[in-house]
Structure 1
Amino acid sequence: MQFFSSPRLALGALIGLSAAFSPLAYGQTVTTIPIIQGKGDATTMAGQLVTVEGVVTGDFQWREQLSGFFIQDVKGDGDPATSDGIFVHVNARSKADGIDVKVGDRVKVTGEVAEFDNETQIAQVAAIDILGQEKLPAPVALTLPLATGSSFENVEGMLVTFPQKLTVSNNYELDTYGSLGVSLDRLFVPTNLKALGEKSEDEALRSFILDDGSDAKDPEATPYLDANGSRRTGSSVSGIIGILSYGHKSYRVHPTTAPVFEETNPRPVAPAAVGGTLKVGAANVLNYFTSFQDANPRARGAKNAEEFARQSAKVIAELRGLDADVLGIMEVQNNGNEAIGDIVTKLNAAYGTETYAYINDDPQAIGTDLIKVALIYKIAAVTPRGNPVVKKDAAFERYPLAQTFVSKANGAVFTVVVNHFKSKSPGRETVDIDKGEGAFTQRRISQAKSLLEFVNSLKQSTGDPDVLAIGDLNSYAEESPILALREGGLSHLNLLVPTADRFSYVFGGRSGSLDHAVATPELAKQVTGFAEWHINADEPVFMEYGKLTAENFKANPYRASDHDPLLVGLNLTP
């Protein structure tokens, strides 16, 4: 990243161009920047030819930057409702293209007032005159959250600073556009904290985009990385000083000095301790397919064997790190026991002994979806009792799978049900549409009710009341499907952790739990702990196996999937 840099023309050429395109030749009266900006969201002077004067506060003239620079009225108008700054867009269509300015230059610019992507700017520049040098105005200090009913519009184009330590909340576009979402603290999906319809905080008052002074896609060097080549959500940033602008539907700051990051959310080496004598885990393994997209157009996972080697290495590192006695797995290829067998074989190789076995489900009964759920268990810890049971209900795309186990330590009996509810993606859905909890909410409610029936039937068929249902329920913690499970008498184990730590997924810069564990009241009394191991959701997408190259790949668990795995501790009594 470069701050305050642009190619300088030779002094003689600069003077010649400056004189040739001097606005004085146009006889324009200087219009102040605050008058152009006005007090509304958009200027009322669009299309008018004006001459403005100000000091260059931000220089982003390179084509791979912003093709322009920011100027600010030296004195301003003293009205906090109007901005003193504005962007000057200079490109190959501008008559003044090629006239170079630098930060601290006092300039006059003649051009046309425009609203581009909801940002007021001077475009179609006809003349730039460098008048001398000027001390930069002090950055306007801003604090989050903004006052209710306000926005950043009154400082659009101005030099600003944020004295607070802020939180990285969105890293999705870091490698593609060099930008991060930052906020006062971690942003949560509203329905992860409150039921639909309850008032939630206005994110626009709490956040903005930390950009990199460029609109270029796929920058050669990704900015803001940590020592691991990543940038986790939840890390902190301070010392933000730059120009506040608007673009791509968001207010954003283009830094003029390098911001300072602090690793306040480092990579967790292991899951939080959950206690107990047995541990049950759940992990979405992000389309673990043993057939590859290059040869099978229906495959959803790795493109080829090379990618699959990276994917499986990360998944195995994740599952070994969980070290669960019983483990539910979602998004494994539905190809009999081939894919789940591959996981178990590689996991045992990592342990150096035959540690795990898989539950041998009936391929004819598990359903026809391309992916399925699966169960594996530690041979030394538990013994399966009876056959696995599949809930064959048309409400499900992927049937729930249940298995009863007996603890080898004390003979205690318990049943685990692994689930994967319908996703929130709307597709072509026109009936069960998104009404605040994602598409297919009614389908997921039906699945939750069917799961309740399944749990109750398992209590009867096994003669034991200890049932634990786990998995990717594609519903946030206070959404209707989860509420249905709680209202149906199951204990929601995710609620055992503080709200600030209650998430397994990050989407659009908002965190929330899509992966859950619910238990019958009898089993809930024997739960010793619950944890979500935050190794995946906080990591940027470009850390996934399909984005990494052989040179920067590491066989660690970080970003093994897009979901964080969970872990439950149990202290069972016979």
Structure 2
Amino acid sequence: MTTAPASRPRRTLLRAALIPATLAASLVLVPLPVANAAAPATPAPTEAGPLRIHDIQGSTRISPQAGKPVTGVPGIVTGVRAYGSVKGFWLQDPNPDADPATSEGIFVYTGGNPTVQVGDSVLVSGKVTEYYPNYSGGSQSITEITAPGVTVLSAGNPLPAPVVVDTRNIPGTYAPPAGPDGSIDGGTLQPEKYTLDFYESLEGMLVQVKDVRVVQATDKYNELWVAADKQDQRSKRGGLLYESYKEPNVGRLMIQQQAPVNQRPFPVANVGDELTGTTTGPLDYNNFGGYTLVAGTMGTLKDNHLQREVTAQAGDRELTLATYNVENLAPGNPDAKFAELAQGVVTNLRSPDIVALEEIQDNNGNKNDGTVDASQTVAKFIAAIKAAGGPAYDWRSVDPQDGKDGGEPGGNIRQVFLFNPQRVSFTDIPGGSATTAVGVTGTGAGTALTASPGRIEPNDEAWTNSRKPLVGQFSFRGKKVFVIANHFNSKGGDQGIDSRFQQPTRSSEVQRIKQATVEQSFVAKLLAADKEAKVVSLGDFNDYQFSPALAALTKDGVLRDLVNELPETEQYSYVYQGNSQVLDHILVSPEVGYAKYDVVHINAEFAQQASDHDPQVVRIKP
């Protein structure tokens, strides 16, 4: 029996569901609906009832008791959440049954501050509910007892022994096959065979990890990710590589804690650090991290001193081009953000000749008043670069139409070219505008753009509510170079890799394939006019090197994706849900033979970040 999905906030603000695998192009905060807060309590039980927690959980994801009242369910309180918007406690039966598919733990949603303590032996009556943190987005459900009546029988009882989660018991296959409806909800759990079934069979129970590596840095919500399975594919710097849709890395677990930070500080960790000793708590599920260990006891942080990278020094005859998503940069941002981003350009990227920036907001940031000009934003960034010891960059861009390019409402994010006029010149060709499509004119050495800067097919449906590619014509040592700055549509709305629908639907991918197809056609026109044209396409493509979108962009060999030429363990620019993955790319046309490419890891693996993306740089000889 499946009841209507419950809805209530897991946080005051909801991060854009992007972002899977995501990565979102921008962080959008949306208020969540509030419900269930005033559900009437059930009378406190006076004796144990006929059902135990394993009877309620059952051997599938959906409780056989869903929607029904239960009375006098016994158990030991193993964890309490008395802060945030989802208050309640975890209850576990110390007398398990013999079926490994049936969990012995459950969350009791109280709505207000729970009055029980860890170690209390209690009886609980209430209604069994299946709660979906994001029903339409494909999240798994959480079996809960709601509107509870609680009777405390005794205090200070020993807790059930936690299940140790590690390489020995995490299955190597991530998801079970779906049923006819595309969902895995109805299948009998096989915890020895499938990762998602294994975690589901432990829902609400005490679990433990020991001496685990951090694979995603602590975020502003006081969460981090660890690798519970030592066999998952490791990156060069200690993360977990996301290498294909079939290999999501089975041992990724989010770590939160039960106590608020003002009572017990949360460890501030970078990728490659370790939580030594044991970390123990109930296994929860949330829409931002899937299965999550909510720690009652936390391991000790071992700092492995991850360092920010500095790219190699370029030779005088090498043209250097970089891409950097500066994450909704606006004049009102703190000066420290501008300074940190600028330091990255000057020190870590070594002041590239050309920098393609993504997510430059207009002059008043997210104020939605029709402003589209971003000259103040760019000027402040250029000044910060100069203050950091960099060159006096010049810049070019095309202002978007108000509200037409997606991203944070009112922000009007766009791509911008910075260039060092002492090293490279920009070929200004009038005619570029928000709605004018740039074309190709001439042949051979006379090939040129019809507008520079310009936008590629801005009126094509492929770019609806998304950034349009910015293209510019440059000259370096008398050699012509065509540069395309990109920011494809985000992964917002995609189902997560831990979705109850398998395989998850990647709905946003459809638009990126269209975008890649349009751009591939434009590059093909350039190469048809001049087969020796030097083209560099770079930016935040919001997709993986193995994705259909990148296959469409590189069709017929018009461009080659340089990330594929890095050692496998270095192929990532972003970290999401514990997976180090590629979202940013630099691609070059066939005549750009010499290309020294580097993803410069200065942000994505660190708790302190100027942006959530790592920048990239390439050295070429046109």
Instruction: State the Cα distance separating 1:326 from its structure 2 match.
Output: 1.3
Rg comparison, structure with higher value: 1
Contact persistence 1:69–1:87 (CA under 8 A): yes
Q: Could you tell me whether the CA contact under 8 Å between 1:42 and 1:115 is conserved in 2?
A: no
| C-alpha distance 325-456 of structure 1, shift in aligned 2 (>3 A) | farther
Q: Equivalents in 2 of 1:246, 1:497: separation in Å?
A: 35
Instruction: Give the % identical residues.
Output: 21
Match of 2:73 in 1: 52
Q: Return the offset for 1:140.
A: 1.1
Query: How far apart, CA to CA, are the structure 1 residues paired with 2:492 and 2:252?
Result: 30
Residue equivalent to 1:112: 126
Q: Which residue of 2 aligns with 1:533?
A: 600
SS at match of 2:420: strand
1:42-121 mapped onto 2 (5 Å cutoff):
42-46=62-66, 47-60=68-81, 62=82, 64=84, 67-90=87-110, 100-103=116-119, 105=120, 107-117=121-131, 118-121=141-144
1:210 matched to which residue of 2?
255
Relative distance call for 1:140 and 1:336 in structure 2 (3 A) is closer
Are 1:566 and 2:600 an aligned pair? no
The residue number in structure 2 matching 1:491 is: 560
- Cα distance change of structure 1 residues 319 and 57 upon mapping to structure 2, 3 Å threshold: same
> Does the 8 Å contact 1:372/1:399 carry over to 2?
yes
Is 1:328 aligned to 2:355, yes or no? yes
Match of 1:200 among 246, 251, 258: 246
The AA in structure 2 aligned to 1:278 is E
How much is the aligned-residue C-alpha RMSD, in angstroms?
Answer: 4.2
Measured in 2, the distance between the counterparts of 1:116 and 1:223 equals 32
Specify whether residues 222 and 327 from structure 1 end up closer, same or farther in structure 2 by C-alpha distance, changes over 3 A only.
Answer: farther
Is residue 377 from structure 1 mapped to residue 414 from structure 2 by the alignment? no
CA distance in 1: counterparts of 2:530 and 2:612, whole angstroms: 31
Task: Give, in angstroms, the shift of residue 315 of structure 1.
Answer: 2.7
Q: Please give the alpha-carbon distance, in whole angstroms, between the structure 2 residues aligned to 1:45 and 1:386.
A: 70
Aligned with residue 521 of structure 2, among 444, 449, 452: 449
What is the alpha-carbon distance in structure 1 between the residues aligned to residue 305 and residue 529 of structure 2? 43
Are positions 1:284 and 2:324 aligned together? Answer: yes
Q: TM-score, normalised on structure 2?
A: 0.64
The answer to whether 1:403 aligns with 2:445 is no
Matches within 5 A, 1:409-488: 414-421=479-486, 423-425=488-490, 435=507, 437=509, 439-454=511-526, 457=529, 467-483=535-551, 484-485=553-554, 487-488=556-557
Q: Following TM superposition, by how much is the alpha carbon of 1:162 offset from its aligned partner in structure 2, in angstroms?
A: 2.3
The residue type equivalent to 2:330 in the other structure is A
Distance 1:27 1:240 in 2: 34
**Residue 355 of structure 2 contacts residue 417 of structure 2 at CA under 8 Å; is this kept in 1?**
yes
Change in Cα spacing, 1:132 to 1:71, as seen in structure 2 (3 Å) is same
- Distance in structure 1 (CA, Å) of the matches to 2:90 and 2:241: 40
Contact 1:395 1:443 in 2 (8 A): no
Give the partner amino acid of 1:348. K
- C-alpha distance in 2 between matches for 1:385 and 1:132: 75
Q: Which amino acid aligns with 2:544?
A: Y
**Helix, strand or coil at the partner of 1:320:** helix
Distance 2:303 2:417 in 1: 36
**Deviation of the 1:564 alpha carbon:** 1.9
Alpha carbons of structure 1 residues 454 and 222: separation in structure 2 relative to 1, 3 Å: farther
1:308: how far off? Answer: 5.7
Shift of 1:80: 1.7
Check the 8 A contact 1:33/1:73 in 2, yes or no: yes
Contact 1:470–1:515 under 8 Å retained in 2? yes
Deviations 1:522-564 (A, max 9, x none): 432x33x321112233346xx5xxxxxxxxxxxxxx41x3432
CA distance in 2, matches of 1:136, 1:426: 42
Write the letter of the residue equivalent to 1:319: V
For 1:358, give the aligned amino acid: D
> 1:102-181, aligned counterparts within 5 Å?
102-103=118-119, 105=120, 107-117=121-131, 118-131=141-154, 133-143=156-166, 145-146=170-171, 148=173, 149=176, 150=194, 151=197, 152-163=199-210, 165-169=212-216, 174-176=219-221, 178-181=222-225
Within 2, Cα distance between the matches of 1:246 and 1:453?
49
Output the CA distance in 2 between the equivalents of 1:273 and 1:467.
22
- CA-CA distance at 1:338 after TM superposition: 6.5
**Cα distance change of structure 1 residues 112 and 420 upon mapping to structure 2, 3 Å threshold:** same
Aligned AA (1:329):
A
Rounded to whole Å, the distance in 2 between the matches of 1:224 and 1:284 is 30
CA distance in 1: counterparts of 2:165 and 2:598, whole angstroms: 36
Q: 1:264 to 1:255 in 2, by over 3 A?
A: same
Q: Partners in 2 of 1:336 and 1:168 — Cα distance?
A: 36
Kept in 1, the 8 Å contact 2:217–2:606? The answer is no
Q: Match of 1:74, SS?
A: coil
Equivalent residues of 1:280, 1:326 under 8 A apart: yes
In 1, are the aligned partners of 2:109 and 2:145 still within 8 Å (CA)? yes
Segments of structure 1 that go 5 or more residues without pairing to the other structure are 1-20, 288-299, 407-412, 544-557
SS of residue matched to 1:441: helix
Amino acid at match of 1:453: K
CA positional deviation for 1:442? 0.8
Distance between the aligned counterparts of 2:234 and 2:315, measured in 1? 30
Instruction: Give per-residue Cα distances to partners, 1:96-122, cap 9 Å, x unaligned.
Output: x9754342x4x2414125125133344
Q: 2:388 aligns with which of 350, 355, 373?
A: 350
